[in-house]
Structure formats: C-alpha cells, structure tokens
Amino acid sequence: MSVNEFVNKFQFKELLKSDPQTKSIVLLGTIDSQDAIISLEKSHFLFDSDHETDLNKLVKDSVIINHNDVYYWSNVLLEQTLNEFPTAKLNLIYPATATHIKKYCTQQVHYIIETPDMYKKYVIPYIETMKGDRIKWVYNILFEGKESETFIHHDKHPQLGFVLLPDMKWDTLNLQSLYLCCIVNRKDISSIRDLNGSHLDFLKQLKSTILQLVEQKYPLSQDQVRIFIHYQPSYYHFHLHIVNVAHPGLGDGIAVGKAILLDDVIENISIKDDYYQVRNIGYLLGENHGLWQIEGYRNSI
C-alpha cells in the first residue's frame, strides 16, 4: 500500500505535539482501526546558486500583515513542486505501539543524574526488555537488506562493518539539513555505557571512514560534519548520528543532556578505559519514557 493510500485512510484522533521551532506537528490516528502516527515537518527552502529560481514564480500570492518605514511583512502562498520545492516531509508509523505514542507525546522532562549503580540495577534490565522484536527493524536494515536502495555504504563485516544511510528526519533534498545514521553490525554495544578502551580503535576507524564517505558523497568538508551519540538512545543497538554542522532545526536531538560528541567519547576512553562504567551521566528524560515508569529508578534520583 502506498503512503497516499495510508494517508487517505488515516482517521485523526488527537494532536500529540506541535513544535514551532522545527515547524512540525505529530498526529495520532488510526488506519483500519490500528493506531498510526503521522509527523509533518515543513520543508526548508531549496533556494541557492544551484537553483536559478524566479521569485515571481515561487510566490503565487500574498497578503500584507503590516509595514513600518522600510519594513514589510506578509503572509504568502508559494508555488510548490513535489521534486524541487515540496511543501513538507511526512513520516508514518503504522501500526504504532504504545511505546511509539508515548515517545511522540508532549511530556514533562526531568534532568537525571544516573549513577553506575542506577545503571546496573535499573537501566540494564530495562535495556534487555527493549531488545528482540522491538529492534527487529534495525536487523532488517543490517542483515535483510531493508532500505538498501538508500544505503550510502554497507560493510558486512560482523565486527567492524556498518550501514550508513539517510536518517528518516532528512528529506534528502536540502544539504544544509543533512542527517545520516550509522548503524553498526556488532550486537555487543547497546549504549555509550558499554564503550571502553577496547573499543578505541573501532571508534577511531568508524569516525575516519564515515567522514571520508560523507566527503566523497556530498560537497562537504570533514570539518562541516558533526558526529554524535544519544544517551539515552531511542533504541539500544549502537548507532551514531551524522549531521551538517549548519543544521538549523535539530531541536533537542543535539541538545546538552542528549547528544554526546563522538570525539569526546574517544577522548574520554583514551584517558580512562572504563570512563563510562564508573562516571555519573546526566541526561534529560521525559515522563513517558519506560525508565521513568520504574518506581525504583525514580526513587533513586
């Protein structure tokens, strides 16, 4: 079934989130009586020296809001085309689970200082519940060839290999908002807490290869690329986020308390092998997150 067919069958239930910074909304509804989530994000303008666009053709109509001296502001209706100037990017999750719905709902957020003891007692058991079928889609990418038509790189080596592909957050059109994801083949790293000195060479080679691949594929130099890791991650199979340093709309995805630069990780475990096993880690956690639902975890904060 095509995305258009899914959208035509979508029955709206409620607005989960509206973000004026990223110009996006997340809607909850049903398709054939099963929960579905649709997120819509307005596209960035593809208007540069490579697109000789006539502004008169781009702006179809306008209504003045106000003006003062040399300043004018108005609402405009733009001429949109699906391939060159799309209106928005749509993501669909169907069927959506309760975990998906909680993830996208507006929620209260708390700053957590996670101790090594909290990690061992509460986070490790939680991570184990998030494996198996919950990350089957990851294994579909790595081992079953799902989404292979979008792969930028796929090294099948069981320990050193990885897939590099566009993240679903990127429209694949606007280079300024470039967002790629690197998912490693090895299954023994669930999160940053598992990294130690034995992974140093692996991480250095991973960084070097990713930067070379991005530089070969896109008109970006290596110092225009940022590589980072999330903690807590959205899924517990080691992966990295690769973005244009000029990306204008990452929201909390690049915020302190979420993103940790790969260079910092490499530096930290170079200094102390077990750095991420012995230190406290601070991060932001929403009340809809599964960890927050664990009473002992909350009481440990």
Q: What is the pLDDT of residue 86?
A: 82
Query: Rounded distance, CA 262 to CA 208, Å?
Result: 11
pTM listed for this prediction:
0.81
Q: Are residues 83 and 123 in the same domain?
A: no
Q: Are residues 74 and 134 in the same domain?
A: no
Residue with tokens 């809809």: 288
- pLDDT tens-digit map of 87-134: 888 989 999 988 888 888 888 999 999 999 999 999 999 999 999 988
Structural domain contains residue 162: yes
Q: What is the pLDDT of residue 156?
A: 93
Name the region of 257 (left: φ>0; alpha: ψ -120 to 50; beta: rest).
left
| Two tokens, residue 291 | 């960890």
Residue with tokens 């110009």: 23
Residue 220 above 90 pLDDT? yes
Query: Rounded distance, CA 73 to CA 64, Å?
Result: 6
What would the DSSP string read from start to end of 241-296? EEEETT-S--GGGGSTTTEEEHHHHHHHHHH-TTHHHHS-EEEEEETTSGGGG-HH
Per-residue confidence at 79, pLDDT binned at 50, 70, 90?
Answer: confident
- Which of 56, 88, 120 terminates a domain? The answer is 88
- In which domain, by residue range, is 53 found? 3-88
Q: Are residues 131 and 55 in the same domain?
A: no
Q: Are residues 11 and 142 in the same domain?
A: no
Q: What is the pLDDT of residue 265?
A: 98
178 near 220, Cβ under 8 Å?
A: yes
Q: Are residues 73 and 183 in the same domain?
A: no
- pLDDT tens-digit map of 125-166: 999 999 998 899 999 999 998 999 999 999 999 999 999 999
177 near 167, Cβ under 8 Å?
A: no
Query: Rounded distance, CA 270 to CA 203, Å?
Result: 11
Structural domain contains residue 255: yes
Task: Give which of 182, 168, 158 is closest to 238, Cα–Cα.
Answer: 182
Residues facing residue 77 across a β-bridge: 61
Task: Give which of 213, 225, 210 is closest to 175, Cα–Cα.
Answer: 225
Sequence letter at residue 183: I
- Give the angle 99-103-105 at the CA atoms, nearest 5°: 115
- 241 counts as catalytic: no
Q: Are residues 132 and 82 in the same domain?
A: no
Task: Give which of 102, 137, 171 is closest to 239, Cα–Cα.
Answer: 137
- pLDDT tens-digit map of 238-264: 999 999 998 877 777 788 899 999 999
SS3 33: coil
Q: What is the pLDDT of residue 254?
A: 83
Structural domain contains residue 184: yes
What would the DSSP string read from start to end of 18-30? EETTTTEEEEEEE
Structural domain contains residue 155: yes
- The CATH number that applies at residue 71 is 3.30.200.40
Q: Are residues 24 and 151 in the same domain?
A: no
Per-residue confidence at 215, pLDDT binned at 50, 70, 90?
Answer: very high
Query: Rounded distance, CA 9 to CA 16, Å?
Result: 19
Structural domain contains residue 102: no
Per-residue confidence at 48, pLDDT binned at 50, 70, 90?
Answer: low
Q: Are residues 151 and 251 in the same domain?
A: yes
Structural domain contains residue 100: no
**Residue of 153, 230, 237, 239 with catalytic role:** 239
Average pLDDT over residues 13-19: 89
- The CATH number that applies at residue 264 is 3.30.428.10
| Two tokens, residue 136 | 């089957």
Q: What is the pLDDT of residue 202?
A: 98
- Give the angle 109-113-119 at the CA atoms, nearest 5°: 105
Q: What is the pLDDT of residue 8?
A: 92
Q: Are residues 57 and 125 in the same domain?
A: no
Query: Rounded distance, CA 128 to CA 253, Å?
Result: 24
Question: How many domains in the chain?
Answer: 2
Structural domain contains residue 96: no
Residue 300 above 90 pLDDT? yes
Largest distance between two CA atoms of the chain: 65
